[in-house]
Structure 1
Amino acid sequence: MKNNLLQLFNQGSRNAVIVVLLAFIIYSCRTANDPTNPTDPSKGAETYNAEVALKWSEMSLKLIRQSPGFTPPVASRALGYAGLAMYEAVVPGIKTNRSLAGQLNGLKTLPLPETGKEYNWAASANAAQLFMAKNIWSNAPEAVKKTADSLATVLRASLSESSSQEVIERSEAFGNEVAKAIFEWSKTDGGHEGFNRNFPADYKVVIAPGAWQTTENGKAIPMQPYWGKNRTFVGANASMPMPPPLPISTEVSSPYFQQYYDVYKKNISLTQVEKETSVWWADDPSETFTPPGHSYNIARIAIKSSNATLDKAVEALARTGIAVADAFTLCWKCKFTFNNERPYTFVRRAIDPKWIPFWPAPPFPGYPSGHATQSSASAVALEAVFGTDFAFVDDSHVNRVRDTKRNVDFKARSFKTLWAAAEESAYSRFLGGIHTFQDNDTGLKEGRKIGQNINALQWKQ
């Protein structure tokens, strides 16, 4: 009997040890942002509203408008890094998501928060965005820089009401470290301070049949001819082949001729509604936040209309920023691979020598359409966050003064889906007389691939 009792006691002890070991293993495997982990007192990013994300994305658009040299390609790059920095400053607090470090081109590692310490993720994002505002937009006017400083101060004061000074300072330090690492990485992509070289004097304009020529804007050198050599954010996008345009021909029966004739025929018979569509999406860099800024603003609209919290907001802005950045890099690569002429040039030499398009032709090759490429890429990227049937109202330009030259008011536009907005953005360039159908169709197709490659990254745990 005594031996049997001893045997049961030993067996019970072993079972107890096993239970303790299992508990220890489970406890040790909890992630730092696991809300059940008592060593991590931070609130998850989903508990914060999107105010910081919305205020800073609005500031980024203001910086684009008011900083010299922020042409569409340069602006797209800025939004790519700003959106990424915001996301990476918050992602440790998003229990469902993971960092893009190790997934993007050349971005191997990023700073990590201290284990077991409390963080205010909105404060982290606030600090990261202030750093990017001062460094990506380093040539911004002093008045705008002061506005950015003031925004950071106001947000900090608000966030300090719910967190101690120690937590705020720790969070800000982390946000700064993340932003600094991303900014240092940005310097190696080929586009650093691109605002200083929009029209490089050393570029030799291609002279060949069907090649781009100076249009009514008078620019002898095209905008950012080397931009397509920049590093993309996503490796898969860098390896995308460049689809060739139709063979050049002035034969009336040729598909090439028909492409340009369709532009001419439509442009001389525009309805008032078609004029409004063209002008709404024009996003003239001298008057607006540029086409990539329009896409970034659509992300902001989606965030506001869906009452998204901070976690969803930063993911939406990161996806959109990367989408427009890679879209402009690849679109420009294609533009300067084929140097395809604008409708202005072809129509005047082969159809009507006095024709002037409804909208002035931008100073760079036509194929493919930058509007179509970036609108498509950003729409697909945003679909991963808000769905393929997300309806919204685009009010991006409702406060603009009437365009008296073209007799057009700026009225908000409603869309049943994000993709519908991308298609209208592309079509608007045909209505403006500056892009053919092949420019737009190719841009939409290539942009969709870019967006799909972005969505294929491992965003989730």
Structure 2
Amino acid sequence: MKRLVLLFISCLSFTASFAGKKQVPAYLELQQPVNAINLVMIHDVISPPVAARYYAYAMLSAYQLVAKNDKEMVKPAAFIKSFPEIKPPAVKSYDHRIAAVYAIYETAKNMLPSGFMLQDDENAFTKQLLKNKIKQQDIDNALQAAVNVSSQIIGFSKIDNYSKLSAKLRYTPKKGEQYWYPTPPAYMEAVEPHWNSIRPLIADSAGQFKPKPPVEFSKDTTSRFYALAKEVINVSANLTPEQTNIADFWDCNPFAVTTSGHMAIGFKKISPGGHWMNIGTLAVKQANLNFDQSVLVITSEAITMMDAFICCWDEKYLVNRIRPETYINRYMDITWKPHLQTPPFPEYTSGHAIVSNSCATVLTFLLGDHFAYTDDTEVPFGVGPRSFTSFMQAASEASVSRLYGGIHYRDSIDEGNKQGVAAGNYIVARLKQAGVKPVVN
């Protein structure tokens, strides 16, 4: 685990380039707490929608502290629905930057199932501060402020209905040839079938960004649906090395299972949300943003992901469409297997398409539409790095990777792209209305 931590952090730091004087000292860079949270999520096998929720509240803790101390920063209540009045810390003077970083750790520590693992990261952070000649009293004051605000943000998280999910009835796959059914090799149960009951942070409702209806299910060999499945087969049979690399780079399957005889072996990876969070942290570092600007960008991205996943999961379980692997094995080729392992939830629309496009839309608003960068998020998992000329180019590649991987039909990707852009545009509009401005012109 320690080897993975070191590799993960070192790989995510070598691509950043700086113009002029460095604005954020190393001990305040957001890559550190985000990477630490990623590693705990990988350990816990946190599903994509749940991971996005944790990122959102952890970053909101940091944002609240920044907004309280930076007069130019828009208050979270201006764009977060029903955001509570946060009582100020008892300590009057503190470094809000140190407090914000510690609050990210603290919030995740108290929300994640294995959050206790972040205690070592908190301790390492305070030691890092001392090595940088930060006075103990200043550290104590900042940590006191962080704990105070973090506890209130966690209190706010408790009204989003997450605690009610465990009381929901256990999900049973719908009967009917057109509906989703668990896929090999593990035949895992459906992931978060009731996620649409989670309260969004900015969006009006889970069903707000409706895509058009999917292509109608059919077994007729002359039908549009059959043609969609046939395309999946044809693409998978003729993958180029570049297409294979793209599929692997954007796999982001938190828990893939392979079998050897009677033994099942699980492989843990970063989630789609974790991948985009890392894109955000390397982007703010490359742009040489100051600390407060960096928190604004990463928080905006995190809350976008949370709402995008809620809307995506609403559509997935409403349509409940069969995955290509199941359809192809039943009606076309019993021996066919996708390049990537099929994730355990319904097909329409593509989650990677929605989340990638919504994040890319918000990042483009904040950082510009020609932001070139190199993404090495997947290097610790044996893939990459890959370079992009813009966030939207990356989102487009992430979306089509699901066709190359054999886990989505073309219309699910195309409509997921539109759904993601619609969600991103709505959040950008709300941010603008609140007074948030681009940080890079």
TM bin (shorter chain)? 0.7 to 0.9
Instruction: Name which one, 1 or 2, has greater alpha-carbon Rg.
Output: 1
Q: 1:150 aligns with which of 93, 110, 123?
A: 123
Does the 8 Å CA contact 2:207/2:311 hold for their aligned counterparts? no
CA distance in 1, matches of 2:26, 2:289: 6
Aligned twin of 2:261: none
**Residues of 2 paired with 1:203 and 1:435: CA distance?**
22
Other-structure match for 2:76:
100
Note if contact 2:37-2:118 (Cα within 8 Å) is conserved in structure 1.
Answer: no
Is contact 1:126-1:155 (8 Å) kept? no
SS in structure 1 at match of 2:387 = strand
Q: Which runs of 5+ in 2 are unaligned?
A: 1-21, 256-267
Q: How many equivalent pairs are there?
A: 399
Q: Please give the root-mean-square deviation of Cα atoms over the aligned residues, in Å.
A: 2.5
Q: 1:332 is matched with which residue?
A: 313
For 2:174, the aligned partner's letter is: V
**Residues 186, 192 of structure 1: 8 Å contact kept:** no
Contact 1:86 1:129 in 2 (8 A): yes
- Inter-partner Cα distance in structure 2 for 1:136 and 1:364: 24
Is 2:67 the counterpart of 1:91? yes
1:168–1:51: structure 2 CA closer, same or farther, 3 Å change rule? closer
One of 298, 320, 323 as aligned partner of 1:317: 298
- Partner residue in 2 for 1:261: 230
Is 1:418 matched up with 2:391? Answer: yes
Note closer, same or farther for the CA distance 1:277–1:48 as it changes in structure 2 (3 Å cut).
closer
Q: Identify if the C-alpha distance between structure 1 residues 354 and 446 changes in structure 2 by more than 3 Å, giving closer, same or farther.
A: same
Task: Say if 1:151 and 1:381 are closer, same or farther in 2 by CA, change over 3 A.
Answer: farther
* 1:127 maps onto 2:127 in alignment: no
Aligned equivalent of 2:157: 186
Contact 1:339 1:366 in 2 (8 A): yes
Compared with structure 1, are the counterparts of its residues 47 and 158 closer, same or farther at alpha carbon in structure 2 (3 Å cutoff)?
farther
Which deviations, in whole Å up to 9, do the C-alpha atoms of 1:362-381 show, x marking residues without a partner? 11101111111111111111
The Cα of 1:300 is off from its aligned counterpart by 1.0
Q: Is the 8 A contact 1:316 1:385 kept in 2?
A: yes
What secondary structure does 1:236 align onto? coil
Q: Residues 459 and 299 (structure 1 numbering): CA distance in 2 closer, same or farther, change over 3 Å? A: farther
Per the alignment, do residues 460 and 121 of structure 1 end up closer, same or farther by CA in structure 2, a change over 3 Å counting? Answer: same
Q: What do residues 189-238 of structure 1 show as CA deviations (whole Å, max 9, x unaligned)? A: 122497x89xx872122112310012113426311111121111113354
Match of 1:354 in 2: 335
1:135-161 CA-to-partner distances (Å, cap 9, x unmatched) read: 111434x5x2342232332244256x3
> In the alignment, which residue of structure 1 is the partner of 2:421?
448
Q: Which residue number corresponds to residue 288 of structure 1?
A: 269
Letter in 2 for 1:242: K
Find the aligned partners of 1:113 and 1:239 in 2 and give their Cα distance: 38
Once the two structures are superposed, residues 419-456 of structure 1 have per-residue CA deviations (whole angstroms, 9 ceiling, x without a partner) of 00011011111000000111111211111122222222
DSSP-derived class of the 1:414 partner: strand
For the residues of structure 1 that align with 2:101 and 2:183, how far apart are their CA atoms? 43
CA offset at residue 399 of structure 1?
3.3
Q: Which residue of 1 aligns with 2:263?
A: none
Establish whether residue 279 from structure 1 lines up as the match of residue 252 from structure 2.
Answer: no
Further displaced range: 239-248 or 348-357? 239-248
Alpha-carbon distance, 1:339 to partner: 0.2
Question: Deviation at 1:109?
Answer: 2.0
Preserved CA contact (<8 Å) 1:131 1:176: yes
Aligned to 1:23: none
Instruction: Report the 3-state secondary structure (helix = DSSP H, G, I; strand = E; otherwise coil) of the residue aligned with 1:284.
Output: coil
Aligned to 2:3: none
Residue matched to 1:427: 400
Q: Deviations over 1:36-71 (max 9, x none)?
A: xxxxxxxxxx975474222212212122112x2411
Select the residue among 216, 222, 228 that pairs with 1:247. Answer: 216
Q: How does 1:93-242 map to 2 (within 5 A)?
A: 93-101=69-77, 103-112=79-88, 118-140=93-115, 144-158=117-131, 161-162=133-134, 165=137, 167-192=138-163, 202-219=170-187, 221-236=189-204, 238=206, 240-242=208-210
For 2:120 and 2:357, the matched residues in 1 are separated by 32
The aligned residue for residue 39 of structure 2 is 62
Does the 8 Å CA contact 1:212/1:364 hold for their aligned counterparts?
yes
Task: Quickly say closer, same or farther: Cα 1:92–1:246, change in 2 above 3 A.
Answer: same
Distance 1:204 1:278 in 2: 30
Distance (Å, rounded) in 1 between the aligned partners of 2:112 and 2:127: 21
Residues 242 and 365 of structure 1: CA distance in aligned 2, closer, same or farther (over 3 Å): same
Cα distance between partner residues in 1 of 2:381 and 2:191: 26
**Partner amino acid for 1:75?**
A
Query: TM-score scaled to structure 2, two decimals?
Result: 0.84
State the partner residue of 1:15. Answer: none
What is the one-letter code of the residue matched to 1:135?
N
The code of the aligned residue for 1:60 comes to I
The residue number in structure 1 matching 2:15 is: none
1:279 alignment partner, SS class: helix
**Take 1:202 and 1:448, find their aligned partners in 2: how far apart are those partners?**
32
SS in 1 for 2:162: coil
User: Would the alpha carbon gap of residues 265 and 180 (structure 1) be closer, same or farther in structure 2, given more than 3 Å must change?
Assistant: same
Instruction: State which of 318, 326, 344 in structure 2 corresponds to 1:363.
Output: 344
* Distance (whole Å) between structure 2 residues aligned to residue 454 and residue 114 of structure 1: 33
Q: Which moved more, 1:211-220 or 1:438-447?
A: 211-220
Structure 1: runs of 5+ lacking an equivalent: 1-45, 402-409
Partners of 2:60 and 2:151 in 1: CA distance? 12
Shift of residue 96, structure 1, vs aligned partner: 2.3
Q: What residue identity is the alignment partner of 1:184?
A: G
Matched residue, 2:6: none
